Structure 1
Amino acid sequence: MKTLIRTLAAALALAAGFGGNAMAADDYPTKPIRMVVPFPPGGSIDMVARLLGQKLSDELRQPVIVDNRPGASGNIGMDLVAKSPKDGYTLVMAPFSLATNAHLFQKLPFDPLKDLAPIIRVADQPNVLIVNTNKVAAKTLPELVTYLKANPGKLSFGTSGIGNPQDLSARIFMSATGTDMVNVAYKGGAPALADLVGGHVDLMFETSPTAVPYVKSGKLKALAVTSDKRLPSLPDVPTVAEAGIPNFKAVYWMGLLAPGGTPPAIVQKLNAASQKVLSAPDVQKQLTEISLYPAGGSAAEFGAFIRSESEFYAKLIKDLNIPQQ
């Protein structure tokens, strides 16, 4: 009889737990949501997080507050979210380094494929090769390659950390051209850009949303874009492939995730709200205007995409002999 009572009690508790989760998902959200950005303010991922956060606030009828937690190629912010309560109130706008860091760091404090729950792929972005014209005399990409081959190790490039888009694009470029440059890593794209404008580094493969305004203002010069087609915002700037390096393409992504184990109903609610926001013509226009390609899709599709990206970059990082940190 005691065994039967314990069994019935356990069953009732389990049922109550499922009901509680369902009820929580139905009521969600009932308080502000924190969206962690694992880079400093001012970069492209921060720009997109603030746009999406503002629109999600309207859609979910709760404030979505952006919280910048930079450092360690995004690992500090992503780890914070991975260890947060699994209730949908702490999210992360993660960069594509979510798929690369496991192959770049000897040990991570979290498992990128298990400890974070994919919600939606938000946008894709190419990089723009930009130079400080006071430090770099080359006016075209072929001229830059010629100079680099004659002066190995003389020019420096800024990045937001090893394995991030700026870093990988530069490494792929050096491998494709047989050139060598000095890598200067920063905590984010914004401080790297500031030093590029100031002449402390010579060039960058910077993300398109933050690079384009500097090019249009005349502060920096664009030599090429890393996508397979020209950017509408920079129609006169060739792709790297057009400029003489065939089959070169480097397009990166960012996406929204929750702590692993977040109830599927909450993930689905966030996915549906985000999909609605990303499908809105005004949001698509704003993303396109800052040289991003709106993405979208289901949580399952985003999860499968992250796994495939992880496999792809594991091979690329090995082929490029990028040392682990």
Structure 2
Amino acid sequence: MELDAHRTELTVHCYRMTGSFQDTEDLVQETLLRAWNARDRYDPTRASVRTWLYRIATNACLTALDGRARRPLPSGLGAPGDDPGAPLAPATDVPWLQPFPDGRYDVDARTELRLAWVAAVQLLPARQRAVLILRDVLAFTAAEVAEQLDTTVAAVNSALQRARSTAATVAAGSADTLREPDDLRQRAAVDRYLAAFEAADVPALVGLLAEDAVLEMPPVALWFRGPEAYGAFMERMFRLRGTGWLTRPARANGQPAFAAYAREGGQHRLHSLQVLNLADGRITRNTVFTDPATLRAFDLPETIR
């Protein structure tokens, strides 16, 4: 029985369920171990290996999520900040949503992996989240999902209806972050943004922003909306950390991203991973991750000389 061939898709599934890449790796290992130990009890007349593995993985995720708080982004916790000079104290008590390192897996860029989508489904109760992902993303039938979750088809359909309603309400407020932008236009906008960032050219950065662009920086709960606040914060950041930054392209959640390196003596040290959303050739959101554990997941060099 070939189990490891399903590792990548199970990894993506567990990430969608939990919003935590660190938890995901452990859950996939647990899923494959459970499957191996139960291989003699697998009945191919009842389900394919893939369906059977998704049942094990989904229930492992539901157990892991029991009693845990959802993983948000700062923009999901309250109103935007109005003081770009406010203290940048990390909220270490919040289990923040983590990005997914595309480069470690052969994963297609899909809307259902984007940060905005994963953050939206985190609002759902865990079983509704599972039903939505299994039905609408993975296209399992209602009967298959009922079998996977040990419930009835009627209960699956009811949970799916509630989950779709909640997800649609959330998406209505951020539809631009869920669209697939034109690749050429996207690449050109990203290239211009990186050039402006390395030059510490705040007016050029602001000129690339959408009218309601968001800047957020977990684990700092503070976030900003609009080019004026975004630009004011970037001016503060360049004053504090200096200019002469370097960037390296990256990918996260099927989205363009980049690693930012701040000048430190005779070298540049890794500062952050920044994940961009775009629509109509403009930056609609920049989610800046600085947590060391998150950065390690992307296998980025610590310094560049």
TM-score, normalised with respect to structure 2: 0.26
More helix by share: 2
TM-score (norm 1): 0.25
Q: Which has the higher contact order (CA 8 A, sep 6+)?
A: 1
Indicate the structure (1 or 2) with the bigger Cα radius of gyration: 1
